Amino acid sequence: MRKAQLLFLCTNLALVLFAFSSYGQHINELTATLDSTSHQIEIKQRFVYVNNSKTNLSTLYFNDWNNAYANNTTPLSKHFSEDFDRSLHLAKNKERGFTIIKSIVNKEYQGLDWERTNMQDLIKITLEEPLLAGESIELFLSYTVQLPDAKFTKYGHRSDGSYNLKDWYLSPAVFDNEWKLYSNKGLDDIYTGIANTKINFIFPEGFFLASNFDYNLVTSFPDGQQISLSGSNRKNCDILLTIEKQFTKHVTGVLTVTTDIESSKYNEISQGISINKVAHFLDENLGRYPHQNLLVSELEYSKNPLYGLNQLPSFVRPYQEKFQFEMMFLKTTLNSFLQETLFLNPRKERWVNDAIANYLMIKYVEINYPNQKLIGKLANVWGVRGFHLAKMDFNEQYNLLQMLPARRNIDQSLITSNDSLTRLNQKIANRYKAGLGLAYLADYIGEERVDSTIIDFYDVHKLQAKTKVSDFKQVLKQCSNDEIDWFFNEYVSTRKKIDFKIKKLEKTEESITFTIKNKRKTNVPISLFGLKKDSVVSKYWFSDIDSSKTFTIPRLGEDRLVLNYDQKIPEFNQRDNWKTLNGFFSSNKKLQFRFFKDTEDPYYTQVFYVPIANFNIYDGITPGLRIYNKTFLERQFTYDIAPQYSFLERTMVGNASLRYRKYHGDSKLFVSNYSISGGTNHFQTNSRFTTITPAISFGWRPSDLRSNRRQSLLFRHRNVFRSIDEGVLLDDGIDLDLENNPDYSVFNIRYRNLDNNIVNYKSSLIDFQHSSEFTKLAVELEYRKLYESNRQLNLRFYAGKFLRNKSDSDFFSFALDRPTDYMFDLGYLGRSEDSGLTSQQIIIAEGGFKSQFEDQFGSDWIATTNASFNLWRWIELYGDVGFIGDKDERARFVYDSGVRLNLVTDYFELYFPIYSNNGWEIAQPNYANTIRFVVTISPRTLTGLFTRRWF
């Protein structure tokens, strides 16, 4: 009863304050003919543009998003490259999409001047005379649409002969005090004016059609089919043409759905029951869908799936088929439902739709699956059920995944433009943060108020052009007695973190006095729970805590106070959220040992352990135990200890590190690291090296987090301790002087400037080293250029000079190939070998040569250039030239050349020398011994190859 009264009150308030403006509708009529042989659509379009603004318009702009596939200089291609996707950059002409404009005329059939903007997928039409406010103009457009291959964005023509058509015809850009001109960047966020549209669509026989528009029966004629599609107050017409009939129409009492989402292990009758269940949930919690038919496609789900365990292969999926199907259908339906009816600016104000959609998904699970665990049936498996991850509810994934970028300082505010979001934030984190925000607000002002706001906002603003965030804020404030400006000013508009702690606590028999500290000074409310033996006995909300504030509450038998106990608030750190009333010693967290990594449990001090094994030819396989405290979410302070046993040397080896990492928010200085690390292994038989390295580093990242540019400055002091077996002979006459000077220290400063772009890669490094034996300075420059023909040019320049060198050996000298690695930075499998397979491993460092020379060291200076250019796919030609000099000797000119198999750049490569200072190497004996290889076996490095596009 209370909920109904509240809804009635909010609705009437909104209707009083809302001034309804009746806009004239654009009229859009098309005749479109698809040729399945050429993948072209011939379009004749009549468009009546109505000037609904208060400004006279001398030009009109139309979206031509199909032309975004035309070449590799469009914003779409550049956006792909930023995500390390080079498919569109390297596309063949027959795979591209483009639009050929034949004519644009007015109702008198007079040709109008038009041109493409520099963004290439927007068309500017110049009118002969200004279009007055409130007036309309009739345009006739004739053009050919060449559809792209669907492999780029899943829209266009598919390899199986089917078609997915979206944003395929010209549509008007929006004028709202100014033109809102947005390019296609593969984000499904076209901003176009709503229109009453009719389409006469002609297509070949043998296809089945599904659409978001209303349509009648298909009319067949010789060699073809024809259908009439219509939509009132709609954005764009989506069409899916399939070779087999895949879509089924479900008619419920409140919604008609056309869908091809199904589950092979969930029978059709049960699917129908679930669809009916979801439809009624949306009708009750959002509102009545205003169109005759809602298209819910597998294609749209694939563009925005349920991330996480849901994407595992079906034979290992941990959820029941009913739950899995309903969540897939609910998510896709919600997104389609809102996109078709709430017309906010999707490039700038998408967060409102995301907030409503994800809030309702959270609500659906709370109502229908309150006991659903995050990892589903796996939570009951022996060996897994003890993990904190297994105890987490399904809805806790929203906070977990939105906190992933926040802990790495790459989160972005909800008002960030959609095309400026990183892939992780655009696909997952910001969507989840928006939904959590509404859930947070609902917990604060009351769930009924937020539920009523959503229903009222949808009821008033559905199908209205130019709906704004301010409309949502207005309705929300009308339905709340509490001050909620913090939600928009702090939570939505900034990337400030939420982080509170209980600082002090005093108790009497009647009351409890405590101080809450706002660690981040983000002005948002915080909840406090009083617990007695894990049962909640009291709950309070506190707000306006600038830095710290003291409160007093009555004592109701609590034995513990906990901030944000129900975790409804997306708080940055919950490990310091509680205080016990039972004395100091009882406040100590219990120590918890867990096999493998886990999610954070704020009520335990977690220690993780996992077996590991490494390999080098001196230690052999070195099994060990890694002990660390890093959870799935990044932490400021981490330790990592990994003792291992060397079977070949029959002794202990391993490494350890302590690190404190501080992120700096919006500062130009992105991150600071303070660490001390050490390790010990063998570099020859019974010959050990040990390193201890304190270090400080700083990292810079542009404010545009999509940029792949990074800068770093490292200060470290490498301390090396060595011991060698007396029976080991030093090869090649290189005296390491281990007997007299086994230990040394090197102070090192490194500055790196990196632009890791897949098309134009640029990197520069300045390296300064100082020790008692030498002082040296080196510079490294690297450039990679990927051409449209899929040819890639790789250039690298390295130069180094000793400022002083007191060493009598070549241990610290510059090297053409296989540096001695006295800093122990390089991952050699056999660092002291000069024969055998491991000696053929190459790590591109210093001179970067691939051929092996008898005299490869320079004790004074070096300058080399490495180049390669691919002939076909991963087959390349390489060449190296340079000079290298010793003290008091004339510099030597060196060169080599050969073939490079660039299978995975920097990860797995093969080099076949052909000609060098050594002569024709390919014709010399034992040629197989000269072949070089690059291999990376570090799991962390390999993981980065696949995660870089997300972070």
- When mean pLDDT is compared over 409-418, 807-816, 921-930, the highest value belongs to 409-418
Q: Give the tens place of pLDDT for each residue, 775-789.
A: 999 999 999 998 888
Categorize the per-residue pLDDT at 21 as very low, low, confident or very high, splitting at 50, 70 and 90: very low
Token duo for residue 3: 């909920």
Beta strands 669-684 and 548-554, pairing class? unpaired
pLDDT at 937: 64
pLDDT > 80? residue 731: no
Contact predicate 763/755, CB 8 Å: yes
pLDDT > 80? residue 641: yes
Name beta bridge partners: 760. Answer: 785
pLDDT at 938: 62
Percentage of the chain lying above the pLDDT 90 cut: 77
Cβ count within 10 A of residue 347: 18
Q: Give the tens place of pLDDT for each residue, 36-71.
A: 999 999 999 999 999 999 999 999 999 999 999 999
Contact predicate 113/126, CB 8 Å: yes
- What's the average model confidence in pLDDT over 469-498? 92
Give the whole-angstrom CA distance, residue 34 versus residue 223. Answer: 12
- When mean pLDDT is compared over 473-482, 698-707, 722-731, 738-747, the highest value belongs to 698-707
Give the whole-angstrom CA distance, residue 334 versus residue 296. Answer: 9
Give the whole-angstrom CA distance, residue 301 versus residue 200. Answer: 28
Q: Give the tens place of pLDDT for each residue, 225-258.
A: 999 999 999 999 999 999 999 999 999 999 999 9
Contacts 24+ apart (CB under 8 A), 638-641: none
Instruction: Report CA-CA distances (Å) from 859 to 746, 781, 807, 815, 820.
Output: 17, 21, 9, 9, 13
CA dihedral sign, ordered 391, 397, 398, 404: positive
- When mean pLDDT is compared over 14-23, 363-372, 609-618, the highest value belongs to 363-372
Measured at the alpha carbon of residue 146, what is the angle toward residues 333 and 86, in degrees to the nearest 5?
A: 75
Categorize the per-residue pLDDT at 23 as very low, low, confident or very high, splitting at 50, 70 and 90: low
Token duo for residue 813: 């000298």
DSSP 84-129: T--TTTT--GGG--EEEEEEEEETT--B-EEEE-TTSSEEEEEEEE
- In the chain, the amino acid numbered 178 is E
pLDDT at 939: 61
- What's the average model confidence in pLDDT over 282-295? 96
Give the whole-angstrom CA distance, residue 600 versus residue 606. Answer: 8
Instruction: Report CA-CA distances (Å) from 484 to 355, 440, 448, 474, 518.
Output: 16, 11, 15, 11, 18
Percentage of the chain lying above the pLDDT 70 cut: 93
Question: Is residue 535 packed enough to be buried (19+ CB in 10 Å), middle (13-18) or exposed (0-12)?
Answer: exposed
Q: How many residues would you count in the chain?
A: 951
- What's the average model confidence in pLDDT over 13-32? 65
pLDDT > 60? residue 1: no
Contact predicate 258/279, CB 8 Å: no
Contact predicate 516/536, CB 8 Å: no
Contact predicate 666/703, CB 8 Å: yes
Ranges 496-500, 502-506, 579-583, 751-755: which has the least confidence: 579-583
pLDDT at 19: 37
pLDDT at 944: 65
pLDDT > 50? residue 135: yes
Q: Give the tens place of pLDDT for each residue, 582-594.
A: 865 555 678 899 9
pLDDT at 539: 95
Chain-wide mean pLDDT for the chain? 91
Cβ burial 777-800 (10 Å sphere, 16+ → b, else e): ebebebbbebeeeeebebebbbbb
Categorize the per-residue pLDDT at 6 as very low, low, confident or very high, splitting at 50, 70 and 90: very low
Name beta bridge partners: 571. Answer: none
Contact predicate 783/799, CB 8 Å: no
- When mean pLDDT is compared over 319-333, 469-483, 716-730, the highest value belongs to 319-333
pLDDT > 80? residue 470: yes
Give the whole-angstrom CA distance, residue 64 versus residue 184. Answer: 9
pLDDT > 50? residue 675: yes
Categorize the per-residue pLDDT at 543 as very low, low, confident or very high, splitting at 50, 70 and 90: very high
Give the whole-angstrom CA distance, residue 126 versus residue 119. Answer: 17
Domains of the chain: 26-246 (2.60.40.1730), 500-588 (2.60.40.10), 730-739+757-764+773-951 (no CATH)
Give the whole-angstrom CA distance, residue 568 versus residue 527. Answer: 9
- What's the average model confidence in pLDDT over 348-362? 97
Contact predicate 60/86, CB 8 Å: no
pLDDT at 310: 66
Task: Look at residues 134, 141, 135 and name the one whose alpha carbon lies nearest to residue 29.
Answer: 141
pLDDT at 55: 96
- Helix 351-368 with 430-445: angle, nearest 10 deg: 70
pLDDT > 60? residue 3: no
pLDDT > 80? residue 733: no
Across 834-888, the runs of DSSP E, i.e. the strands, are 857-858, 861-872, 875-885
Contacts of 874 (CB under 8 A, 6+ apart): 901, 902, 903
pLDDT > 80? residue 697: yes
Categorize the per-residue pLDDT at 945 as very low, low, confident or very high, splitting at 50, 70 and 90: low
Give the whole-angstrom CA distance, residue 166 versus residue 630. Answer: 44
Give the whole-angstrom CA distance, residue 840 versus residue 789. Answer: 32
User: 621: part of which helix (H) or strand (E)?
Assistant: strand 620-628
Give the whole-angstrom CA distance, residue 421 versus residue 412. Answer: 7
- In the chain, the amino acid numbered 732 is D
Give the whole-angstrom CA distance, residue 207 versus residue 225. Answer: 9
pLDDT at 478: 87
3-state secondary structure 613-670: EEEECCCEEEEEEEEECCCCCCCCEEEEEEEEEECCCCEEEEEEEEEEEEECCCCCEE
Give the whole-angstrom CA distance, residue 123 versus residue 130. Answer: 17
Give the whole-angstrom CA distance, residue 279 versus residue 684. Answer: 70
Q: Could you give phi then psi for residue 423, rounded to 5 degrees?
A: -60, -40
- What's the average model confidence in pLDDT over 645-654? 94
Cβ count within 10 A of residue 941: 12
Categorize the per-residue pLDDT at 2 as very low, low, confident or very high, splitting at 50, 70 and 90: very low
- What's the average model confidence in pLDDT over 619-640? 94
pLDDT at 704: 92
pLDDT at 588: 63
Give the whole-angstrom CA distance, residue 376 versus residue 798. Answer: 54
pLDDT at 729: 47
pLDDT > 60? residue 5: no
Ranges 117-131, 356-370, 727-741: which has the least confidence: 727-741
Task: Look at residues 744, 721, 733, 800 and name the one whose alpha carbon lies nearest to residue 768.
Answer: 800
pLDDT > 60? residue 894: yes
3-state secondary structure 221-239: ECCEEEEEEEEEEECCCCE
Where residue 833 falls (left for φ over 0; alpha for ψ -120 to 50; beta otherwise) is beta
- What's the average model confidence in pLDDT over 202-216? 95
Q: Could you give phi then psi for residue 47, rounded to 5 degrees?
A: -130, 125
Token duo for residue 882: 């340079």
Give the whole-angstrom CA distance, residue 73 versus residue 53. Answer: 33
DSSP 411-438: ---TTS-GGGS-HHIIIIIHHHHHHHHH
